[in-house]
Amino acid sequence: MSSTHYQPHKILITGGAGFIGANFIRYLLAHDPHVIIFNLDALTYAGSPHNLDQLPDPKRHTFIQGNICDAPLVRDLLQRHEIDTIIHFAAESHVDRSIQGPAPFIQTNVVGTFTLLEAAKQYWQTQKKWNHTQCRFHHVSTDEVYGTLTAIDPPFTEKTPYAPNSPYSASKAGSDHLVRAYFHTYQLPVTMSNCSNNYGPYQHPEKLIPTIIRACQTQQPIPLYGDGSNIRDWLYVEDHCSGIDLIVRQGQLGETYNIGGSHELNNITVAQSICALMDTLSPQSKPHTHLIQFITDRPGHDWRYAIDSCKIARELNWQAKVIFNEGLAKTIRFYLE
């Protein structure tokens, strides 16, 4: 099965009240006047209805509060709304929380993904008898499934072996393998993407960049794990959204595409960059860098992530457009407002 240009119509987005899902819904409503979106979100700690305030063309968006592990609900949604496209963001994604309590991560990320795949297979293939030109399942994953890199390792490619180190990344790896298996075993028309660290508007306050911005706003300590040397590849969320949209429409079926920002920075540099921008946008008596404090490192903390986006650039002509400082300034202004 190869892919021609695919046009989604009735889309089920899972986790659409979360950070990346809500940004993707905004992106899609603004860029494609033909799609109708059904947004299924359990509204756990990571999702908020406020992330969906002031959507472009809101009449094409319907919100359903519910859990992706609820098989009767998922089957009913597919049938009632004649869903032809599933874009699957819903996941428990906070590494620290997965260390404290892994069970919800296994349930949502593994069992939830399985539930969606089964419902899609049953509805599209058995009931509707649709072929790969009529339906699509896109699974959104993370670079963390590949494990960690040293300073001299090349960035992760789509061929990097999986080596997850936290309960979170292990559960995402499990879901990736299920999606791939449904393509190879059942010919379910799937595509997959693994992204680097996202940042931008509507991100959950526990994540690194919102935590630093909030600490600057409230003049509280900025907590950095270890010595702040951990390196991440930063991707502005709207760039990620454009990459996913392109994969859904033009990606090769059964293939994985890595989406990275090509902005590798250590945590101390990120903190200093935010402090410098806050010094300009919200000056205090002292530079904000005096708030930086180093705290005990978390267990199994991956040292470096970096993504090689050559495949999506080569095959789909995608590239990240937003440079880090520009995206960071937009993000800070969003939180200040």
27 vs 30: CA distance, rounded Å: 5
Provide CB contacts within 8 A for 126, sequence distance 6+: none
What count of other Cβ atoms lies within 10 Å of the Cβ of residue 106? 16
Angular region, 228: left φ>0, alpha ψ -120 to 50, beta rest: left
Of 92, 144, 255, 264, which one is the catalytic site residue? 144
Active site includes 144? yes
Of 41, 84, 92, 143, which one is the catalytic site residue? 143
Please state whether beta strands 231-236 and 197-199 pair in parallel, antiparallel, or not at all (unpaired): parallel
In the three-class reduction of DSSP (H, G, I as helix; E, B as strand; rest coil), residue 10 is classed as strand
Burial 277-314 (b: 16+ CB within 10 A, else e): bbeeeeeeeeebbebbeeeeeeeeebebbbbbbebbee
In the three-class reduction of DSSP (H, G, I as helix; E, B as strand; rest coil), residue 96 is classed as helix
Which residue in 78, 13, 76, 22 sits closest to 40, CA to CA? 13
Q: Give the position of tokens 């946008």.
A: 281
31 vs 187: CA distance, rounded Å: 29
Active site includes 153? no
In the three-class reduction of DSSP (H, G, I as helix; E, B as strand; rest coil), residue 199 is classed as strand
Provide CB contacts within 8 A for 28, sequence distance 6+: 11, 35, 37, 241, 245
Of 27, 123, 146, 168, which one is the catalytic site residue? 168
- N-terminal to C-terminal alpha carbon distance within the chain: 47
- Residues tagged active-site: 143-144, 168
